[in-house]
Amino acid sequence: METIFLKLGGSIITDKTQAEQARVDVIHRLAREVRAAREARPDMRLVMGHGSGSFGHAVATRYGTQNGVRDAAGWLGYAEVAASAARLNQIVTDVFVAERVPVVSLPPSASARCEDGRLAHLDVEVFRVLLGSRLVPLVYGDVAIDSVRGATILSTEDVFGFLAREIEPDRVLLAGEAAGVYTNADMTGEVIPLITPGTLEQFASALGGSRGFDVTGGMAAKVRQMIGWARAHPRASARIFSATEAGTLARVLIDPDAQAGTLIRADAEARHG
């Protein structure tokens, strides 16, 4: 039995250059690919997440929610960010259920508690129960209460990192618009096939941000989070890849050795577990 954490990036399910523009046709296609992969691999345990793209990020940028909430205007922003992120999540949930993928939305803000931007608590037991029933827990980029900042923003990668301590995945898949991590920060040049903790710094100049709204750090933050995760789980792997071409997501879900994007793991010789 293989456990996979899959994130659908905001770059592919929304138009990140325009506020609150969901790509519903793309979400339908991705849902069908997930369904096909689950049918091909009935032993797969899948936890899904998605970014907020042009929904939560746009509002959070306006209010600076990532940096904390300290007054009435900031708390109004907190509520608006939560509502915006939830609107996209409802679209994703409705599409996946319509395509017969049994996702169950679990808003991180319902139980998350942070300490100065670090996720310190999340109710994990419900994830175990859903996975045991062959359902697909679905999380997303969301707001969270923070004991130091008042409130902050959680990325899907933050949630995945916390969950991995309790539900250790064999693979983490970050599916977006970018083909992987490029050799140049402006997303040109070659796609880097493999990054390990030992090679991270030589690619530091390549880790740019992301196109459009993004308050969670863009590509650099994603890679560094996945490197930290790989260090903590040396038998597993992470992969950043593009799901813009039909069939790629299904292929990567089904085949752990499928070639796509940038692989991140603890060292050059390690294999997924």
Confidence (pLDDT) at 214: 45
CB 175 within 8 A of CB 4: no
Per DSSP, what are the bridge partners of residue 45? 3
Residue 205's CB is within 10 A of a number of other CB atoms, namely 10
**203 CB-near residues (< 8 Å, 6+ apart):** 181, 183, 192, 195
**Which residues in the chain belong to E strands, given as ranges?**
3-8, 45-50, 103-105, 113-115, 118-121, 136-140, 142-146, 150-154, 171-176, 194-195, 237-242, 262-265
**79 CB-near residues (< 8 Å, 6+ apart):** none
Confidence (pLDDT) at 56: 66
Confidence (pLDDT) at 209: 47
CB 145 within 8 A of CB 179: no
Residue with tokens 């539900």: 167
The pairing of strands 113-115 and 118-121 is antiparallel
Helix (H) or strand (E) holding 49: strand 45-50
Tens place of pLDDT for every residue, the chain, 273 residues?
Answer: 899 999 999 889 998 777 788 999 999 999 999 999 999 999 999 999 999 887 766 677 777 888 889 999 999 999 999 999 999 999 999 999 999 999 999 999 999 999 999 999 999 999 999 999 999 999 999 999 999 999 999 999 899 989 998 998 999 999 998 888 887 766 667 888 888 887 777 776 666 544 443 444 567 777 887 888 788 887 888 999 999 999 999 999 999 989 899 999 887 554 443
Confidence (pLDDT) at 11: 87
Helix (H, G, I), strand (E, B) or coil at 65: helix
Distance CA 28, CA 88 (A): 14
Distance CA 191, CA 205 (A): 14
Per DSSP, what are the bridge partners of residue 136? 103
Phi-psi region of 127 (alpha: psi -120 to 50; beta: other; left: phi over 0): alpha
Confidence (pLDDT) at 48: 98
In total, the chain counts a number of residues equal to 273
Distance CA 257, CA 272 (A): 9
CB 167 within 8 A of CB 5: no
Q: What's the predicted TM-score (pTM) here?
A: 0.87
Confidence (pLDDT) at 66: 83
Phi, psi (degrees; rounded to nearest 5) at 78: -55, -45
CB 181 within 8 A of CB 172: no
Per DSSP, what are the bridge partners of residue 265? 237
Query: Closest Cα partner for 34 from 97, 89, 86, 87?
Result: 97
**109 CB-near residues (< 8 Å, 6+ apart):** 82, 142, 143, 144, 145, 154
CB 267 within 8 A of CB 197: yes
